[in-house]
Amino acid sequence: MRAGIKLKFSGFLAVLLILTVVVLSYLVLRGIERNQQAQIEGILSQQTRLVNLNVRQSYYTEAVRMEPSAFLQQSGRRLAQELANSTGLPITLYDLNARQVGSSIMAGDRADAGELLSYALNNKIAYREQGETMLYVAPLDGPDGQMGAVQIQYSVASYHEFYARIRQLFIWAGIVVVALSFGLGYLFYNRFAVAITRLKSSADSIREGNYISASPVNRKDELGDLGQGIYYMSTSIQQNIADMDEEQRKLKLAIEKLQALEQQQKQYIGNISHEFKTPLTSIKAYVELLDMYKDDPQLLDDATNNIGKETERLYEMVEKVLHLFALEKYDFENQAEDVEIRALLEDACGRMRGKAEKFVLRMELDVQPATIRSDRESLMHIFINLLDNAIKYNEPGGVIRIDGGPRIKEREAVIRIFNSGAPIPEEAREKIFEPFYTVNKDRARQSGGTGLGLSLVKQFVEKQGGAIRLLPNGDQNEEGTTFELVFPLADASLQVGNNSD
């Protein structure tokens, strides 16, 4: 039986549209699948780096240093639970002998790592899907190399569900498009041949990555709908690819930040080790001298005095390091309240006046009343640290001046703390708020300075929504050092200011 030309062309059109939709669907679905795989790998790789970072951090913060294997055996269960809480993923830890040392997963829910674990213990990353779960096993780095392996179970159910929805969408869209095109092509092929050619051309353009900027067919019928659908699909694919590129950029930025953080942590640990070594060396030297000259009373007095000073300095250093570490690691909830800043400064000056008089220093307070909303204890810590610095690095017979008040138009309170000691050199001004940085290390050791006070102050100030800066030398019309604090005014001060106007 001979088929008519319209039937042949309609059949051909149907076949062509089927192939187009299938190829386009395959390319899109394949792209989605690859993107999902890359996204999962990126997320799990990032989580693995965070796990390694937390494990090394926990290892270095142990009070007693031990072998990595012993550390894992002792702290594995706690680490697995903490890591699971921080990442939100089920975590299992293994040592180098493939023994499980800790897990956040119930025994009945654990997946068997099998041969994946052997790859991870050979310093390789391995993973496989088991149903709706991705089983990801990676090396666990220690201080001197690999110390074990970490197993992460990651749910991929949402990815499968999304993939299935897209696939079903393409299937139904293809069926509808082919059916409509076959019927219309049989009846009106000649009329719609040009439109079909345009649609085919647009589909090919999308497949090649050349996205369309408008519907290829401006008609009020099915072909027009098809053209609009291809345009929306092109726009959606283009947007999805742009979003994926943006996510990739953000992921790369996050990786760079993690690498910078890791480098900063290494430098931080090195600084801590160096700063701790100085007082410990002094204490050790006096202990050895006392062992050699047990009957020397003068040596005994000197040793007792200096060991006490170095011990106090070491204690203060440890306390500030722990405080600084806690500020960087946790986002504490401040107990915000309206604080009258002049009254708080009077309290702080009262606490430090005895120490100032001991060093023959005069303390002057000239602050106008102002109310800010902040955490009272954090503000007290800021002022005590700055006043203590002003005392330590001042000269006998010098002055400490605290002045400032509200600036209603700028909606802020400004406090300046001046000391008449030696000014800070220009080359040191940019580094003054860095941890462990001291302008004069010899004087810092004599006064018990650790180089951590200003770093703590800066973080406290910023957590209160304020800012701190070191004013230029001579800004107060006399030689010395001036720190300026700026805090947003509370509503109470603004209302008072408006009434006074």
Average pLDDT across each block of 10 residues of the chain; the chain has 501 residues. List them in order.
54 77 83 87 87 83 72 82 85 85 74 78 86 87 83 87 86 80 66 71 82 80 80 85 88 84 64 62 75 79 77 70 56 70 91 86 91 86 87 89 85 91 79 67 48 77 88 71 90 55 44
pLDDT value at residue 351: 86
pLDDT at residue 261, as a whole number: 66
pLDDT at residue 484 in the model = 92
Write down the residue that tokens 């965070």 correspond to: 50
β-strand partners of 483: 417, 470
When the candidates are 1.10.287.130, 3.40.50.300, 3.30.70.3280, 1.10.15.40, the CATH number that belongs to 261-329 is 1.10.287.130
Assess contact for 167 and 36: CB atoms under 8 A: no
- CB of 128 closer than 8 Å to CB of 120: no
| Whole-number pLDDT of residue 399 | 93
State residue 330's pLDDT score: 42
Q: Round to whole Å and give the CA distance between 130 and 137.
A: 13
pLDDT value, residue 276: 67
What's residue 365's pLDDT? 92
How many Å from the N-terminal Cα to the C-terminal Cα in the chain?
A: 100
pLDDT for 74-109, tens place per residue? 888 888 888 888 888 888 888 888 888 888 877 666
If one counts every other C-beta atom within 10 angstroms of the C-beta of residue 165, the result is 10
For position 310, what pLDDT does the model report?
Answer: 72
Crossing angle of helices 376-392/341-358, nearest 10°? 30
pLDDT (0 to 100) of residue 366: 92
Q: What is 336-500's CATH number, 2.170.190.11, 3.30.565.10, 3.40.640.10, 3.40.50.2300?
A: 3.30.565.10
The CATH fold of domain 53-156? Beta-Lactamase (3.30.450)
Q: What is the pLDDT of residue 417?
A: 93
**Domain ranges in the chain?**
5-29+160-251, 53-156, 261-329, 336-500
Q: Which helix (H) or strand (E) holds 291?
A: helix 222-292
Cα–Cα distance for residue pair 426/421, rounded to 1 Å: 15
Alpha-carbon gap, residue 202 to 197, rounded angstroms: 9
Its pTM surpasses 0.75 = no
